[in-house]
Structure 1
């Protein structure tokens, strides 16, 4: 099959419109239409159902689109590997991690990475959904669980525990609880039980709420929990890595914490030789090592 026709077919299938595909390819609608008709004739099949609102793939078209999508991903990977210089790190790197870790730990440290590699273009995707790395939804992931997908290079970074924190101002005003049951006398700030979160954190929140807490603030992200805590609103459930950047947080009820949650860095096996991946991996590991050196009494990191 003619690759140029396949390239045009893929663009049309992706856009769902001859006009939109033509805009992307810088071709006229008639030129795109001719190429699609020629491809259908060469395959002796219909690839699109045509209607007033656009184009829909036929069953045969879906089969071909799956093939061209796989080819496109392979070409993107090859292009990325070709562009990765042995002496220079540049180009786009798509990083996915949770909203909490990405906004509270990773993003504040990225200036150091950009200082070292100013031509790097990072697309930081913060969400709880686990993106499919082998399908190239992202290049590298930092997740709060060991990845289950095959064909991934994975590295365990550290463990996270969820703990209770407040400001000294809040504790001076409302007192410091000495037992778990006394948490009922304080405002508890935590992620909403309906918010996607690691199981260990959800279990800790459930056990705290079982103490007949009368006043609560639930938020759908740790960033929101942190903002409420540092503004003296109550006692919050937060990951312990925040103590590095927010040293004024006071730990409450030190014996209360979640089970340990392993944090992994992972990327596709086919990107093992990528200079961008190596630069990002080494940066994250160096930052963790620096944190350990600065906080030797904080064992989980």
Structure 2
């Protein structure tokens, strides 16, 4: 199988995924949107391309005989204000349509799309993939629209897909990123003895998935889950107050500490377990420990470079 990951070098997920695919002996290239130059150019490595539009991306896909596109290009929607979020949402939707068009032109077999559990909104009871989507946040609304385009392209052109609905993903190195997840940001503040940002009362429960579990779901989708949608979530949820407490304990003890189980998630992953043979493998406390270790390692590298 020959795979192309959209997202370019701005995506740490793309970098980590490419490394894992290489270990699995899967031919993989990375492509990102080029804003300044009109020609297709090579970035740091020979297998990292840039493109201006869907036609150039289609050329890259055909040149490399790509079978599957993993579409990681995504502009973070940082506001829930309609005015502020519209441009970001519009850019994400336009990019997805561009990638879909390129896949059809290049006769790519399949696209894998990381969506979000935010597409469900605030619904009650157990949450399966068949639930009606009622997003409240604009991130969820944008992804709902992108999901619909992907499904329509399958109906109209036969492009296969797998849609993975993720929660907050953490644990990626942030050395190449302009933004970082709330987990990385909170850990750095705690390490530097600065007060972490906890919105509202800090009691709202959230899902946090370690990056290696997210990558495993994507890899499992390469040969499984044709034209299906899957929830990819951990078994437990935590409030930011609990997260901060766990971070403090992990930094203080500097070893994996015992942790009471979090509240059970209402999001069902039964379908992913059956079809993709996927389940979350990294407990939250272990993921926090690994992330702290990675952040400290990066800081040490930077200090050595400055010296």
Higher RCO, Cα 8 Å, sep 6+: 1
Q: TM-score, normalised by structure 1?
A: 0.26
Bigger proportion of residues as strand = 1
